[in-house]
Amino acid sequence: MEAKIGLIYGDGIGPEIVREGKKILSRVGAVYSHEFQYTEILMGGCSIDACGEPLTKEAVESAKAQDAVLMGSIGGDAAVSPWYKLPPEKRPEVGLLGIRKALNLFANLRPASLYPELKGACPLRADIADKGFDLLIMRELTGGLYFGERKTEERDGLIVATDTLVYNEEEIQRIAIRAFDVAMKRRKKVTSVDKANVLDSSRLWRKVVEEVAKDYPEVTLSHMLVDNCAMQLVKGPAQFDVVLTENMFGDILSDEASQITGSIGMLPSASLNDTKFGLYEPSGGSAPDIAGKGIANPIATILSAAMLLRYSLDLNQEADAVEEAVKKVLAEGYRTVDIAAFKEGVETKQVSTEEMGDCIAERIG
């Protein structure tokens, strides 16, 4: 197939890790006879330096013209970077919010899985970590409490602050469809998380999710209250496949899920809209403390590239091949410095960002 792929190198370790992501996509292209055409898109601090703003109209138009975009991360060290002396609306992170809005990216996918070789990084009890886990949080990204009306006012001499949590049935339906579609590509299980014992928005959420489920007879649906889900994630994460939830619950649960893997450099993510388009990026930031040293872990970006193949290009076999290659290099003992302490009985070899990319590329095809 032919596909247009945008590359946002970004700031800090961004360029180092996106180079490895591109290397993997190019290897997949060569092995499976696909033609990927790459376009570089500026965003974040590097766009401020080059164009005076974190995200230009041209950059948005360029992103819209792609089938998918692979992104590094943006931003710098706020204590020393001149970008953070600019007014808040001109800072690097505004680019990220701007592109999500411009592309209507309402579905945020955050997988969290524990590789047996990195079990030692998991902060959970050994008997729980031994079971492993492979789950994906599907978070609604453009509605709910973070986007509802808010105000602070004085009433009878008291300051009162109000936030509103609003969802309409269409917003719930489209994210639920995304969750069931993704479950069909995984273990066919959706846990919908809400607070239906208290919130009207959650009761509507549950009703709409149940309607959508009727179109996916192969997928098992269950409901869980958010407080219970927060507990179950640390008590028995192996029970989850796709966790579908609204914006604020997803914000909190996805960070909890990432922490139980214990390794930020390993976690990919995707943000999708209602077309096949997606923006794919590592869950971590631009890591200014290690930028330019050639030691960043590129695996989160490489796994984000695998998600791009799976969800935007429907290349499941190719995505599987990338994920298998990552598992192989870990089992063979290759480690970047951030995961070097986790050995699990294998002899480990410490490698650079570039060497890790090479090792994974060599094991594809």
Catalytic residues: 146, 195, 227, 251, 255
Q: Does residue number 287 form part of the binding site for ligand NAD (CB under 6 A)?
A: yes
Nearest distance, CB of residue 199 and ligand NAD, angstroms = 29
* Residue that is written with structure tokens 């869950």 in the block: 283
Nearer of residues 207 and 293 to ligand NAD, judged by Cβ: 293
Using CB under 6 A as the binding rule, whether residue 108 contacts ligand NAD is answered as: no
Looking at the DSSP assignment, which residues form a beta bridge with residue 71? Answer: 8
Asked whether 18 and 301 are in contact (CB, 8 A), the reply is yes
CA distances from 340 to 14, 202, 302, 335, 348 (A): 21, 43, 18, 5, 7
Euclidean distance between CA atoms 301 and 130, whole angstroms: 26
When the beta carbons of 29 and 45 are compared against ligand NAD, the nearer one is 45
Contact (Cβ atoms closer than 8 angstroms) between residue 246 and residue 194: yes
Q: Is 297 in the site for ligand NAD (CB under 6 A)?
A: yes
| Residue selected from 108, 261, 286, 304 as contacting ligand NAD according to rule CB under 6 A | 286
Told to check if 261 binds ligand NAD by CB under 6 A, we report no
Rule CB under 6 A: say whether 279 interacts with ligand NAD: no
Q: What are the DSSP calls for 280-325, one per residue?
A: EEESS---TTTTTTT----HHHHHHHHHIIIIIS--HHHHHHHHHH
Query: Site for ligand NAD (CB under 6 A): which residue of 237, 338, 342, 359?
Result: 338
Count CB neighbours of 160 within 10 A: 10
Please report how close the Cβ of residue 336 comes to ligand NAD at its closest, in angstroms: 6
The residue behind tokens 């958010």 is: 226
272 lies in the binding site for ligand NAD (CB under 6 A): no
Chain residues 74-103 in contact with ligand NAD, contact rule CB under 6 A: 74-76, 93, 96
* 201 vs 261 by CB, closer to ligand NAD: 261
Reported residue count of the chain is 365
Report if residue 268 touches ligand NAD, rule: CB under 6 A. Answer: no
Binding to ligand NAD, residues 187-246 (CB under 6 A): none
Other Cβ atoms less than 10 A from the Cβ of 324: the count is 13
List the interface residues with ligand NAD, window 10-39 (CB under 6 A).
13, 17
Q: Which is nearer to ligand NAD, 30 or 340 (CB)?
A: 340
* Per CB under 6 A, 290 contacts ligand NAD: yes
Q: What are phi and psi of 142, to 5 degrees?
A: -125, 10
Please work out, in degrees rounded to the nearest 5, the angle formed at the alpha carbon of residue 300 by the alpha carbons of 295 and 303. 130
Closest CB to ligand NAD among residues 300, 361? 300
Interacting span for ligand NAD (CB under 6 A) from 118-126, 243-251, 294-302, 318-326? 294-302
